[in-house]
């Protein structure tokens, strides 16, 4: 069963959760500076989510399997060659030129809003800036492929073709996911694929699109903490994410930030 809004109350709940998640990313940008720790950024986001937004940070103590340790922080901070699920730490201090993905999921009245954005500590390196830009374009192309009657393969093809045309690679082990009152639900939204393949999209479906694009090989490895995923070749990785509601006309981007227009 795929995540789906079935009434206006569900749609309103998802829109509000998405709006609040986006506001966290808008708030935290000014604090991403050389010399700050990722734990410092986590603390600011945690207080904002809990005290200002009256939300629950979904990653905190989340388990992705019964045998895995709970995630110990309120946001994910993935720096440079970290692909996803980087754990904020007071030992990880940002250096000039570092690129950083901040991934936020909030729960408001039982509904989840999930989104991420790339940031730079000071002036970015040329490759890092280009990779982040192309990855954002991959996300937008995936969103453009969304409409009732399209397929998941249409989304994956749009992302993969743009990444590979720019000589980057698509991580295949992680994907977007259905989302609603459940954090990770069906369907699985692959970021590669063939046009016309896979599940047909229906109006009301809610899911994330969150391409992870590498500057080098697509291959990854998991660190011993059982959360942090890095590129095998230690080359840069980037990610952007939005929560989407499928409509008859296209996609309603529930986590849209004020700097964006769809």
Is residue 82, in this structure, part of any structural domain at all? yes
Per the listing, tokens 């009657």 go with 149
Distance CA 86, CA 79 (A): 7
Query: What pLDDT is attached to residue 68?
Result: 85
Does a structural domain hold residue 258?
no
Asked whether 128 and 99 are in contact (CB, 8 A), the reply is yes
pLDDT of residue 52: 98
Calculated CA dihedral for residues 118, 22, 212, 93, nearest 10 degrees = 40
pLDDT at 6: 86
Residue 118 lies in a domain: yes
Write the CATH number for 216.
3.90.230.10
In a domain? residue 3: no
For residues 115 and 170, give the distance between their C-alpha atoms in angstroms, rounded to a whole number. 19
Residue at 88 is within a domain: yes
Cα 4 to Cα 207: distance, rounded to the nearest angstrom: 9
Amino acid 1: pLDDT:
67
Could you give the CA distance from residue 164 to residue 81 in angstroms, rounded to a whole number?
Answer: 18
Q: Please report the pLDDT score of residue 55 as a whole number.
A: 98
- 2 assigned to some structural domain: no
Q: Kindly state whether residue 261 falls inside one of the protein's structural domains.
A: no
Question: Coil, strand or helix: which one is 187?
Answer: strand
Number of structural domains the chain divides into? 1
**CA Rg value for the chain:** 17
- Asked whether residue 262 is domain-assigned, the answer is no
Measured in degrees and rounded to the nearest 5, phi and psi for residue 27 equal -70, -40
Helices (H), 176-252: none
Verdict on whether the full-model pTM lies above 0.85: yes
CA gap 110, 58 in Å, rounded: 10
Which of the 8 DSSP states describes residue 23? H
Averages of pLDDT over each 10 residues, the chain, 262 residues: 89 98 98 98 98 98 90 98 98 97 98 98 97 98 97 98 98 98 97 97 98 98 97 98 96 97 91
Domain that holds residue 78: 8-253
Question: What stretches of the chain show up as alpha helix (H) in DSSP?
Answer: 8-28, 38-47, 126-144, 152-165
Q: Can you tell me whether residue 117 is helix, strand or coil?
A: strand
């Amino acid at each position: 069963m795929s995540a789906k809004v079935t009434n206006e109350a569900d749609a309103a709940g998802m829109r509000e959760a998405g709006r609040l998640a986006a506001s966290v990313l808008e708030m935290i940008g000014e604090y991403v500076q050389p010399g700050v720790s990722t734990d410092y950024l986590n603390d600011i986001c945690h207080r904002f989510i809990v005290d200002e937004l009256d939300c629950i940070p979904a990653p905190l103590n989340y388990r992705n399997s019964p045998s895995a340790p709970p995630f110990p922080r309120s946001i994910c901070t993935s720096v440079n060659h970290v692909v996803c699920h980087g754990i904020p730490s007071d030992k990880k201090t940002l250096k000039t030129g570092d690129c950083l993905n901040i991934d936020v999921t909030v729960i408001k009245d039982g509904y989840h809003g999930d989104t991420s954005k790339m940031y730079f500590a000071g002036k970015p390196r040329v490759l890092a800036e280009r990779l982040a830009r192309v990855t954002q374009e991959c996300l937008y192309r995936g969103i453009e492929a969304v409409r009732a009657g399209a397929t998941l393969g249409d989304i994956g093809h749009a992302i993969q073709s743009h990444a590979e045309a720019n000589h980057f690679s698509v991580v295949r082990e992680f994907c977007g996911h259905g989302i609603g009152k459940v954090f990770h639900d069906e369907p699985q939204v692959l970021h590669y694929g063939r046009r016309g393949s896979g599940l047909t999209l229906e109006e009301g479906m809610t899911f994330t699109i969150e391409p992870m694009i590498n500057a080098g090989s697509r291959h990854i490895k998991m660190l011993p903490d059982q959360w942090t995923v890095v590129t095998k070749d230690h080359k840069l990785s980037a990610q952007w994410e939005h929560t989407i509601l499928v409509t008859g006309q296209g996609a309603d981007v529930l986590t849209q930030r004020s700097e964006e227009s769809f």
